[in-house]
Chain A
């Protein structure tokens, strides 16, 4: 059974095997297909003409990403069966552990995911295991994907003009877990005061999930955000927080809507733009999915 652990508590040798497996998936094209599927999901409004899509701004935000994480984890384990599981990045502790400046974390070093982008080099990440990666850009007018003309991921930690300077902390996570006892509610979008919407980061201002995307900046800003592997470590932490909420308030029966919600977001609906289509209800209990968090 995969055990998902805090990447900063893992031995460096295991971190290296994890990033090496990611590089295998990048080289054979498997990884870029994950980026494409995320962008395709982002582009599929439900219903048509809505700001909600099949994976965001609605109840299936958490199940869709849980399913996608599982698919990446399975791909990584197929490359290296000795991996214990997908690691998570416990970002809510980074400010506290680094004197109030999460940019100082060892997470942002060549041993882990590489540094912040170099301002003098177009904010490209010049070191670490993904320094040679070529990002996949989405062309909105045609719906096609085009490799960026030069290698190097783009990051602008806490300094992207299109992003945000503040970073979520433990108090935000605790507040989300303590205060939001309802998973979601009609009209099932970015306006409701439920746990999903709080964790996604719409309710009450830019928070948690959205805030981390916006703070990292660069390639974490567009719908192709899986271009930066930080995406998976971030979403694995989101999934861990959701599981903590589920363990406290209820696993399957707490999920709403059961029916009557937008297509793709009801408990028995099939989620689209995954490697393998799955029903929302099939990913609610991680014990049946065969992994756990340490």
Chain B
């Protein structure tokens, strides 16, 4: 049974999410011409967009693009032993998702190991 207190808390959470979502900066006109991002998040001060581009062969063959601050891209490919995500920026492991991969590369940039 949902209590009144939980109902109010849940409503507030949904309202907050919508409000936070609206303050994310929109793409520029040039960016808007491309396919829409499927996920956008902020990590260590960078705005990250994950874009899946299907080539008509299903999810397994979809190309993934990871954009940082709308200007730079992180190299990413489906591959590795479990067909997860790999990058030549950090080439000795695989990542379970493009999000995890993007965070690892940003961590590496902050550790001064590479430049995105």
Q: Which chain A residues have a beta carbon within 8 Å of chain B's beta carbons?
A: 39, 42-43, 45, 49-53, 56-57, 122-123, 137-141, 146, 148-150, 154, 161-162, 164, 189-191, 197, 201-203, 206, 209-210, 213-214, 218-219, 221-225
- 8 Å CB interface, B68-86 against A: 71-75, 77-81, 83, 86
Q: How far is the CA of A39 from the CA of B91 in the complex (A)?
A: 10
Number of A-B contacts (CB under 8 A): 101
Q: How far is the CA of A52 from the CA of B86 in the complex (A)?
A: 10
> Which residue in B79, B81, B115 is a CB contact (below 8 Å) of A50?
B79
B104 is an interface residue with CB less than 8 A from chain A: yes
Q: How far is the CA of A203 from the CA of B81 in the complex (A)?
A: 7
Task: Indicate whether A57 sits within 8 Å of B79 (C-beta atoms), given known contacts A221-B90, A222-B90.
Answer: yes
> Which residue in A39, A45, A137, A219 is a CB contact (below 8 Å) of B115?
A137
Across the interface, do B79 and A218 meet the contact criterion of CB distance under 8 Å?
no
Report the minimum CB–CB distance from A211 to chain B (whole Å). Answer: 8
Residues of A within 8 A of B104 (CB): 162
- 8 Å CB interface, B43-79 against A: 71-75, 77-79
Stretch at the interface among B8-16, B21-29, B105-113: B105-113
**Contact-residue bracket for chain B:** 20 to 34
Q: How far is the CA of A51 from the CA of B107 in the complex (A)?
A: 22
Task: Indicate whether A162 sits within 8 Å of B108 (C-beta atoms), given known contacts A137-B113, A218-B113.
Answer: yes
Residues of B within 8 A of A141 (CB): 71-73, 115-116
Residues of A within 8 A of B78 (CB): 51
Convert B1-13 into 0s and 1s, putting 1 for each residue whose CB lies closer than 8 angstroms to a CB of A.
0000000000000
Across the interface, do A223 and B91 meet the contact criterion of CB distance under 8 Å?
yes
Across the interface, do A140 and B93 meet the contact criterion of CB distance under 8 Å?
no
Q: How far is the CA of A161 from the CA of B104 in the complex (A)?
A: 9
Q: How far is the CA of A73 from the CA of B89 in the complex (A)?
A: 26
Across the interface, do A52 and B114 meet the contact criterion of CB distance under 8 Å?
no
New A-B pairs, 10, CB < 8 Å, besides A137-B115, A140-B115: A43-B75, A51-B80, A53-B88, A137-B112, A139-B115, A139-B116, A140-B114, A206-B93, A214-B92, A222-B91
A-B complex: 5 closest residue pairs judged by Cβ atoms: A51-B79, A139-B115, A141-B72, A51-B77, A213-B92
Task: Indicate whether A51 sits within 8 Å of B86 (C-beta atoms), given known contacts A57-B79, A189-B79, A202-B81.
Answer: yes
Task: Indicate whether A148 sits within 8 Å of B77 (C-beta atoms), given known contacts A42-B88, A162-B107, A223-B89.
Answer: no
Report the minimum CB–CB distance from B100 to chain A (whole Å). Answer: 11
CB closest chain-A residue, reference B116: A140
CB closest chain-B residue, reference A57: B79
Q: How far is the CA of A161 from the CA of B93 in the complex (A)?
A: 13
Residues of B within 8 A of A164 (CB): 93
Q: How far is the CA of A214 from the CA of B92 in the complex (A)?
A: 7
